[in-house]
Amino acid sequence: MQFKYLMPTKVFFGRGSVRENSSELASFGKKALIVTGGSSAKLSGALSDIAAALEGLGIEYSVFDKVENNPSPETVKAGGEAAKDIKADFIIGIGGGSPLDAAKGVAVLAVNDMDPMELYTNSFRNKPLPIVAVPTTAGTGSEVTPYSILTRNDLKTKMSFGNADTFPKVAFLDPAYTETMPFNVTANTAVDAFSHCLEGYLSKRSTPPSDVLAKEGISIFGSCLDALVRREIEGDTREKLLYMSMLGGFVISQTGTTVLHGMGYNLTYFKDVPHGKANGLLMAEYLKFNYPYAKEKTDNVLRLLGVETIDEFGGKLASILGEKPHITDEETEIFASITMKQRSTASNIRPVEASDIIKMMRNM
């Protein structure tokens, strides 16, 4: 056995976790910049809990609420300027993966005079400001990963940056904040979280401890699958989905993702398909493609999900996720060539060629 394991984020999971552990914020300084999207921080109740915690500790704060879905380097740059303007000591990201990822970029740019495109070099002269993460979706696991995924218009895709210093220092995971998600956001983000567990488990970079976490996440997704198909998210399902998404973050922090995420970015960049849905629509084809190289693990996945076949699982995903985008043959070829350049494609358990991607995208 040979592996590395790094998870430096301090996690507080459970209802009321911000209120009960607000003293954690005291050590980061006297001024915070809150980075968030247009509405989710307020709607979910997370912003008022964080504001109350900061006020109780005498920490001043400003709110930068301009993060769009699939954030751009330009937005991160504007956030970095906002952090410099108030001389922020630390950054608090509140929201789905988009605001949490943006918060990581803001933490770097707040203390480094660099072009946001240089973020992708992962080399920062000054250490980023401490990051606190408060998720309001149960999907990306960004609260426990070092990754920040921003759009790359030069390469017409999305790409991640991040190093050991961009892991959030503290993450507060309160399932109550995810209750305001509409069904489609709940479903798309749940499938993203599952995708992290699945891809980490099937990755060339999987490790013994990441496999333990991945299998737990996969079985939790299996226990939520029927609720998602019925569109009835009740009882402890919110808590389970948030826990699974954290496990998925633990997994990809060790393994990264694979060709499935790489393919999905095309559907998001060119067809405006939400991130988790993009992965989910391609998932059955991805499982079939990898099957000859990962028979035992794929059989385990199906067993943990409580389904007999990949097609049965694909049918459930289709009913959860809804309509597929229309893609022309010409587009498929462009998507394949872009995906071949993604680092994660090289981690796929089965070696991938452009023709394989074309086939998976056509059969989707």
Burial code (b: 16+ CB inside 10 Å, e: under 16) for 233-267 equals beeebbbbbbbbbbbbbbbbbbbbbbbbbbbbbbb
Phi-psi category of residue 256: left, alpha or beta, with phi > 0 → left and psi -120 to 50 → alpha: left
Answer with the entry of ligand NAP, Fe ion, none that 45 interacts with (C-beta below 5 to 8 A by kind): none
Q: CB under 5 A: which stretch of 44-52, 108-116, 186-194, 298-306 binds Fe ion?
A: 186-194
Tell me how crowded residue 274 is: count the other CB atoms within 10 A of its CB: 23
Question: 43 to 72, contacts with Fe ion by CB under 5 A?
Answer: none
Q: List, as one string, the DSSP characters of 31-93.
A: EEEEEE-SSHHHHHSHHHHHHHHHHHHT-EEEEE--PPSS--HHHHHHHHHHHHHTT-SEEEE
Structure tokens at 10: 């301090």
Q: Which is nearer to ligand NAP, 59 or 67 (CB)?
A: 67
Q: Which is nearer to Fe ion, 80 or 95 (CB)?
A: 95
Cβ atoms of residues 197 and 251 within 8 Å: yes
Measured distance between the N- and C-terminal CA atoms of the chain, rounded to whole angstroms: 37
Q: Which is nearer to ligand NAP, 59 or 189 (CB)?
A: 189
How far apart are CB 202 and ligand NAP at their closest, in Å?
A: 16
How far apart are CB 6 and ligand NAP at their closest, in Å?
A: 14
Question: 27 to 46, contacts with Fe ion by CB under 5 A?
Answer: none
Tell me how crowded residue 333 is: count the other CB atoms within 10 A of its CB: 15
CA angle 204, 208, 209 (to 5 degrees): 115
Q: Which residues bind ligand NAP (CB under 6 A)?
A: 37-40, 43-44, 69-70, 95-99, 101, 136-137, 139-142, 145, 147-149, 158, 177-178, 180-181, 185, 189, 192, 275-276
24 touches Fe ion by CB under 5 A: no
Cβ atoms of residues 321 and 280 within 8 Å: yes
* CB-nearest residue to Fe ion: 192
Answer with the entry of ligand NAP, Fe ion, none that 101 interacts with (C-beta below 5 to 8 A by kind): ligand NAP
Answer with the entry of Fe ion, ligand NAP, none that 314 interacts with (C-beta below 5 to 8 A by kind): none
Q: Where are the alpha helices (H) located in 128-207, listed in sequence order? A: 183-202
Answer with the entry of ligand NAP, Fe ion, none that 149 interacts with (C-beta below 5 to 8 A by kind): ligand NAP
Q: Which is nearer to ligand NAP, 59 or 80 (CB)?
A: 80
Answer with the entry of ligand NAP, Fe ion, none that 98 interacts with (C-beta below 5 to 8 A by kind): ligand NAP
Q: Which is nearer to ligand NAP, 165 or 192 (CB)?
A: 192
Answer with the entry of ligand NAP, Fe ion, none that 262 interacts with (C-beta below 5 to 8 A by kind): none
* Cα–Cα distance for residue pair 53/18, rounded to 1 Å: 7
Structure tokens at 227: 């609720």
How far apart are CB 123 and ligand NAP at their closest, in Å?
A: 19
How far apart are CB 170 and ligand NAP at their closest, in Å?
A: 16
Q: CB under 5 A: which stretch of 53-61, 79-87, 173-181, 190-198 binds Fe ion?
A: 190-198
* Cα–Cα distance for residue pair 40/45, rounded to 1 Å: 8
x/- track of binding to Fe ion for residues 192-211 (CB under 5 A): x-------------------
For β-strands 60-64 and 31-36, DSSP reports them as parallel
CA angle 233, 141, 54 (to 5 degrees): 95
Cβ atoms of residues 266 and 354 within 8 Å: no
How far apart are CB 140 and ligand NAP at their closest, in Å?
A: 4
Structure tokens at 64: 């930068």
Structure tokens at 343: 């680092």
How far apart are CB 14 and ligand NAP at their closest, in Å?
A: 17
Q: Which is nearer to ligand NAP, 215 or 261 (CB)?
A: 261
Answer with the entry of ligand NAP, Fe ion, none that 44 interacts with (C-beta below 5 to 8 A by kind): ligand NAP
How far apart are CB 194 and ligand NAP at their closest, in Å?
A: 12
Residues engaged in binding Fe ion (CB under 5 A): 192
